[in-house]
Amino acid sequence: MAAETRSRAPWARAAAARISSEAGRRALVLALAGLCFGKAQVAAIRELGSLLYGEEVVLWLISSVALAGAALGYRLGGALSRAALGRLLIAGVLVQFASPALVRLAVAGLCALRGGTGPELLGVAVLAAAAASLPFCALLPAYLDGDAAADRVAALRVAYTAELIGFAAGSGAGLALGASPTLSFAVHALALVALLGLALPLRRVALLGLALAAAAILTHQPLGTWSLEQVYIHKHRLPGARVRWSVDSSYQRVEVVDAPGRGRMLYLDGLRDLDSRSLATLNHYLARVPARLLPHGEALLLGNGTLSLVPELAARSRAVTTVEIDPAVVDAGARFFTPGAPLDRLGHWRLRIADGKAFLAGSERRFDLIVVDLPSPLTLGEAYLHTEEFYRLCRARLRPGGALAVQLSGDLGSPRRTPARVVAGLRRAFPEVIVVESALADRSFAYAGDALPFGADELRASAAPGERELRIFEGAALAGRVEGAAPLALDDLDLVLRRGLERLADRHGL
Amino acid sequence: MRPLVHGLHLGLLQTGLLLALQRATSAAAETYAAVLGGWLLGAASGLWLGAAPRALVLLGVVAHLVAHLALAGVDFSARSPALWLPAIIAVGLYSGRYFTAAIAAGEAPARVFAGETYGFLVGAVLALVAAVVGGRWALVLAPVISAAPVLALGPASPPDRRGPKPNVP
């Protein structure tokens, strides 16, 4: 030991002396607590967002519960004994070791028992979100309470700075490592063990924690996949579901699932974005039809991260640009939906990873066809791209005679519903709008332009093979269908919260 | 009550900046990183500052107004959200300074941190509702209004109003 100390460089000896001091140990404990809090919070938002479906309301619910858990943790830190705080920390660490399989199995089990989803799932989510913050936030006030009042401000500066740095590192790691779930979990588990070892002066607990962390890391991948499949089998009611791909991006959880009789499906934050059966019809109305009616133009694809529209558009266009915000969706698309190798050979196709509105705002390029293939506006990020202002921006980027094609999430329906409100925005932004309701696709599509180079007859003649019923609305008929619908606007996005709350309540029997 | 009011103000400020930048510049992860990183940097710096708390509240409101007024006039902008980092850091300074001022005045750390966090949560939710219902100008105005009670109350009670000290007959 003495030889080891003598062999250390002076800076290493000084650093070791600092860390071994009480203040240094505390700072390190709080940095680790902040790291575990930040990492666990990011993981909880992705996991619970996916289990409850990631509407804006759900994401805010989870974040709010995590924040309330942090507040309760701070409160408990000033009220509990050291022994009780130690037990709280151990419990919190064990919950993190068992995540995400524990939460997934709880949700799948409750759905199996009930035969569907119920309010009890929200209880599971609340407990899991609070567990991500509460145990880690109790440490800061507990340490500060132990200081003499005169020293508290100095101690606070060091302690809270350490916790903030840890929180930033944990949040950053959570976001950056989402594409490698097992590595991400391993970083978290090791930080938890380090926290236990430094915060509690019990060697047995630290050693047991290390053993449990090793077991959790080794079983993370198989247990995680199996528990996720139970969620798809019992919650999504997909017997025999197999999860082929599951990663967390900075925006959402991206999953590819195969199920007998349903084919291959893409899920974004637990919501089915598309399946291979309906993809052909969707692509037909969204890209094939307008590209056929506007041949050899320059096309812009906003969204469509699966890239499934690219081959179709590339065959009929002079140039194609795809703008997608989430590289993880592009990755899943290239692996499972649209083979990447043929795309690489397309010399006139470009992919830009960017927010569609920022891309259009920063570009002076003009296009003959803009295709908007985005999920329903259930988050603010998606809703901005369904607003009247955004459609005006699209119009400014269209060449004369160009067209905008938008997939609506369902039939036009009532004026309060999303498709009618989106169409109301299109009608404000464009002089000419035509809506096609396809029974085969089980949704509507809108085409807009200054002077569309095609009309109802051409669209009817371009119906998808096997189409059961195609209803086309334009002019006064369309105006009548969306009468009373308020356009989505940047300053009027109540729909995002209202629809989110309605869906959350419907799903959970509230 | 004080920590709750301060937290509410800070929640309105931070969430308002995030929502305004996501709306006008980009909803990409870089925007979230800029707001979170800038805010944490501001908070950590504020812990070490000895500036008068009320001065930092005012600095935060001015930085908030400058940031939002640059965004409110446009629907969409191609500018990088990183350009707003100085304003985000300036707004975040008080979120650190508040804690040192309150603790220096003898407030219990657990009560201060818990109350501020609950308030922050309420402020964040209010900012979201303000953004979707009232639009961009609601986000501009809300923290200006919430700054009034923050300035009036200050970060902590004067010592003589904090009730009798223990063991004092």
DSSP A489: B
What span, in angstroms and rounded, lies between the C-alpha atoms of B123 and B19? Answer: 13
**pTM strictly above 0.80:** yes
DSSP B124: H
Distance from the Cα of B45 to chain A's closest Cα (Å) equals: 8
Q: What is the separation of C-alpha A388 from the centre of its chain, rounded to a whole number of angstroms?
A: 24
- How is residue A325 written in tokens? 């915000």
Determine the 3-state secondary structure of A256 from DSSP: strand
A153, A251, A361 member nearest B103 (Cβ): A153
pLDDT of residue B74: 94
Q: Is the pLDDT assigned to residue B169 strictly greater than 60?
A: no
Distance from the Cα of A255 to chain B's closest Cα (Å) equals: 19
CB-CB neighbors (< 8 A) of B23 in chain A: 380, 384, 490
Cβ separation B117–A496 shorter than 8 A: no
CA A416 to each of CA A486, A487, A488, A497, A498: distance values in angstroms, whole numbers, following the listed order = 8, 10, 11, 13, 10
pLDDT tens, position by position, A167-186? 999 999 999 999 999 999 99
pLDDT tens, position by position, B23-34? 999 999 999 999
B47, B111, B135 member nearest A161 (Cβ): B47
What does DSSP say about strands A398-407 and A443-449: parallel, antiparallel, or unpaired? antiparallel
Q: Tokens 């097992």 map to which residue?
A: A182
Q: Tokens 């419990």 map to which residue?
A: A91
Distance from the Cα of A215 to chain B's closest Cα (Å) equals: 33
Which residue from A307, A316, A315 is spatially nearest to A340, judged by alpha carbons? A307
pLDDT of residue A186: 96
pLDDT of residue B154: 82
DSSP A492: B
pLDDT of residue A407: 92
pLDDT tens, position by position, B82-121? 999 999 999 999 999 999 999 998 889 999 999 999 999 9
Indicate the average pLDDT of chain B: 91
What span, in angstroms and rounded, lies between the C-alpha atoms of A139 and A195? Answer: 11
Sign of CA dihedral B10, B11, B12, B13: positive
Residues linked to residue A253 through DSSP beta bridges, in sequence order? A248
Asked if this assembly's ipTM is beyond 0.95, the reply is no
Which residue from A187, A69, A180, A72 is spatially nearest to A125, judged by alpha carbons? A69
What does DSSP say about strands A319-324 and A349-353: parallel, antiparallel, or unpaired? parallel
What span, in angstroms and rounded, lies between the C-alpha atoms of B31 and B80? Answer: 8
Given a contact cutoff of 8 angstroms between Cβ atoms, the answer to whether A106 and A41 are in contact is: no
Distance from the Cα of A72 to chain B's closest Cα (Å) equals: 6
pLDDT of residue A221: 94
Could you give the strand order of the β-sheet that contains A242-248, starting from the edge strand earlier in sequence?
A242-248, A253-259, A263-268, A271-275
Is residue A147 exposed (0-12), middle (13-18) or buried (19+ Cβ within 10 Å)?
Answer: middle
Determine the 3-state secondary structure of A313 from DSSP: helix
Contacts of A130 (CB under 8 A, 6+ apart): A65, A66, A68, A69, A72
Cβ separation B117–A70 shorter than 8 A: yes
Q: What is the separation of C-alpha A214 from the centre of its chain, rounded to a whole number of angstroms?
A: 29
Residue A299 φ/ψ, nearest 5 degrees:
-115, 145
Nearest chain A residue to B33 by CA distance is A172
Instruction: Using pLDDT thresholds of 50, 70 and 90, give the confidence band for residue B168.
Output: very low
Which residues, given as ranges, of chain A have pLDDT below 50? 1-7, 19
In chain B, pLDDT over 90 holds for what percent of residues?
A: 86
What span, in angstroms and rounded, lies between the C-alpha atoms of A374 and A351? Answer: 16
CB-CB neighbors (< 8 A) of A147 in chain B: none
Query: Alpha helices of chain B — where are they, by DSSP H?
Result: 2-24, 29-47, 53-72, 85-104, 109-129, 136-153
A-proximal residues of B, 9-68, CB under 8 Å: 19, 22-23, 25-29, 32-33, 36-37, 40, 43-44, 47-48
What span, in angstroms and rounded, lies between the C-alpha atoms of B19 and B26? Answer: 10
